[in-house]
A = this chain, B = another copy of it.
Amino acid sequence: MSKALEFELLNKDTRSKARRGRITTPHGVIETPVFMPVGTQATVKAMKPEDVEKTGAQIILANTYHLMLRPGSDIVRAAGGLHEFMNWHKPILTDCGGFQVFSLGHMRKITEEGALFASHIDGSRHMLSPEKSIQVQNDLGADIIMAFDECAPPDADREYIARSQARTTRWLERSIEAHQNPDRQALFGIMQGGFFRDLREESAREIVKFDLPGYAIGGISVGETKEEYIGVLEYAPDLLPENKPRYVMGIGTPDYIFEAVEHGVDMFDCVEPTRIARHGMAMTSQGRVSIKNAKYERDFGPLDPACDCYTCRHYSRAYLRHLFKAGETMSHMLLTEHNLRFLSRLSENIRKSIDEDRFLEYKEEFYGRYYRRDK
């Protein structure tokens, strides 16, 4: 077991697989289940780190693909690592960069060695391999780093998935081998196998052997149907050790979060709250609100009367609508802060409901408010 990370299982819901846990990292403690805001380019878009922390965020994610290309991981390392560079002194997780590279489509080529790709910034050619991904992540210095995996598309056939999954296991072995700081950075493995239960079982069997400090369930929330997503959640978390944190990447809508938690997942991240904020969308206790709606022109009430965030305490819907219509940066800043607080509070409430053994009741209450009303 890595000295970089400890996981305690604090409580279990008796009528679902939901679990309350606590992760300890070199930069602090993370209560789980936890939503992790994304700071792709070493900044949570339109937020000061102190304000991110005030929303209740315990850990943020940064992207290896973006940072290796700009500013370059050597610069971040020379700055003293990502925490120093970006002035965020709580835990950080970096992804392996694979997902972004594979999303480049025809601009990349996958081989046993890794993925050859052309930069989205200047078209320059780069190789991302397990060794390169881990070297970049070692430079960045996040508390939790991810093994290099291939996240296959949801419509890939069984043969492709089987080959890709086996290769991901070989890449995991190379990732572990390449990792220079196991005492300061906890390396998580990633289960693949698409929507084929036997391939998932095979993947889990292989990666669990390495006794890593944590595991992710990869290849879901990548464009499949919600039924397919839940289908994998029904068995995949159980294939992973109970005493290690479980992470699903790229989920940030309440329903996907509730489903993951219900099936025993502890960690999740997504650009959803920050991205929709920049499009004038807010998550509220009454469901989604599109602030550009004309009906808010003279609405001097808060964005969400049930919210305790900075935005809701100080500004009206009319003001937020004005800022958005006027193209003001402050609109992005205020809606982002609200949405991050929304998902942090959701995580807090989920944790409380598990501690009180009423997770399913809380889920039902939440759905009743969030999804039933038409906005």
Contacts and interface: CB of A to CB of B under 8 A. Distances in A.
A328 B75 contact: no
A46 B316 contact: no
Contacts of A46: 329-330, 333
B86 A319 contact: yes
Identical copies in the complex: 2
Interface string A328-355: 1110110000000000000000000000
Interface string A308-330: 00000011101101110110111
A329 B79 contact: no
Given A87-B315, A329-B332, A322 B45 contact: no
A184 interface: no
A156 interface: no
A193 B298 CA distance: 42
Nearest to A69: B326
Nearest to A310: B48
Chain A at the B interface: mostly helix, strand, loop or mixed? loop
Smallest CB-CB A-B distances: 10 pairs: A71-B322, A46-B329, A43-B330, A41-B326, A87-B314, A43-B328, A79-B300, A85-B319, A329-B329, A70-B326
Given A43-B330, A45-B329, 15 more contacts: A41-B323, A42-B319, A42-B322, A42-B323, A45-B330, A46-B330, A47-B330, A70-B322, A71-B297, A75-B322, A79-B316, A85-B319, A86-B319, A329-B329, A329-B332
Interface of A: 41-43, 45-48, 66, 70-71, 75, 78-80, 85-87, 297-298, 300, 314-316, 318-319, 321-323, 325-326, 328-330, 332-333
